[in-house]
Structure 1
Amino acid sequence: MAQPNPLLSGLRGRCPNCGEGALFAGFLKVAPQCSACGYDLGKADSGDGPAVFVILIAGFVVAFAALYVELVFTPPIWLHLLLWLPLTVIVSVGLLRPLKGVMLAAQFSNRAAEARSDD
């Protein structure tokens, strides 16, 4: 059986080792181990990486969309708030889980480990 692409598996929320088992036990909580292959997922930690990428991507999309709408249509401020605040939340929440999966899969594919100071 061919090894699955870990980054695509992480994007789908699947185990980066086998591509079958669930990577998450909740919305963002990483499963302790893969239900299909038994791979230990408990040591994986994405840190703040996914949140940074979400901020950059969502900020780019929403800021430029808001700027375009302002320059072309010049709506009142209440309409901007009505449009862009929910869109910001939707884009941010929608991107967070896939990007966390990709970051965890990137750790797996690069065999990264937490830096330790055992001095």
Structure 2
Amino acid sequence: MSESAVSKNEQWPPLPPMRTGLRGRCPRCGQGHLFKGFLTLAPECEVCGLDYQFADPADGPAFFVMMFVCIPAVLFGLWIETAYEAPWWVHLFTTLPVLLLFSILPLRPLKGWLVASQFFFKAEEGRLARPEDDPPAKAAPQSGSH
């Protein structure tokens, strides 16, 4: 490893993804901004220069929101309907705001956490191993007698 690579790693100690990602901070330095919009990643960190091209959270944040937040919010609306037989305007002022708040607000922290986790754990896209990529097998030692 070169001298500059060693000093670069010493300059930026590993930061926990929960601390940096949930706050929308750079996963390397913890100071720069991760987002340039609500859910749009910045091209790079303005403090340490980390290129965010490695980041691909895909549909992860939306999946977590749907599974852990939206389902209870929908159950809330169903409970209001079955318990009180509420008219539609009650749902407009109770269920709709709950659904919107609980489905939109967690997206940014979850996306930041997933991006920071990708950086922290050095996650990459999976690749198939090809036979030509395998190192050649070592030859068995030759014995003196045949």
Shared fold (TM-score, shorter chain, > 0.5): yes
Distance 2:55 2:69 in 1: 25
Deviations 1:40-87 (A, max 9, x none): 212211011111111112322312322332343331233224422232
Match of 2:53 in 1: 42
Distance change in 2, residues 1:29/1:86 (3 Å): same
1:55 and 2:66 aligned: yes
Distance change in 2, residues 1:24/1:65 (3 Å): same
Q: Runs of 5+ in structure 2 lacking a partner?
A: 1-11, 131-146
Structure 1 position 3, deviation (Å):
4.2
Equivalent residue for 1:109, pick from 120, 124, 129: 120
Check conservation: 2:15, 2:27, Cα contact below 8 A.
Answer: yes
Match of 2:105 in 1: 94
TM-score, reference length from structure 1:
0.83
Match of 1:79 in 2: 90
Check conservation: 2:74, 2:99, Cα contact below 8 A.
Answer: no
Task: Report 1 or 2 for greater relative contact order, CA contacts < 8 Å, sequence distance ≥ 6.
Answer: 1
Distance 1:42 1:92 in 2: 26
1:5 and 2:16 aligned: yes
Count of aligned positions? 119
Check conservation: 1:6, 1:19, Cα contact below 8 A.
Answer: no
1:24 and 2:35 aligned: yes
Letter in 1 for 2:39: L
Check conservation: 1:9, 1:16, Cα contact below 8 A.
Answer: yes
Structure 1 position 118, deviation (Å):
9.6
- Structure exhibiting the larger radius of gyration computed from Cα positions: 2
Deviations 1:68-107 (A, max 9, x none): 3234333123322442223212221111111111111111
Identity of matched residues, %: 43
Check conservation: 1:54, 1:92, Cα contact below 8 A.
Answer: yes
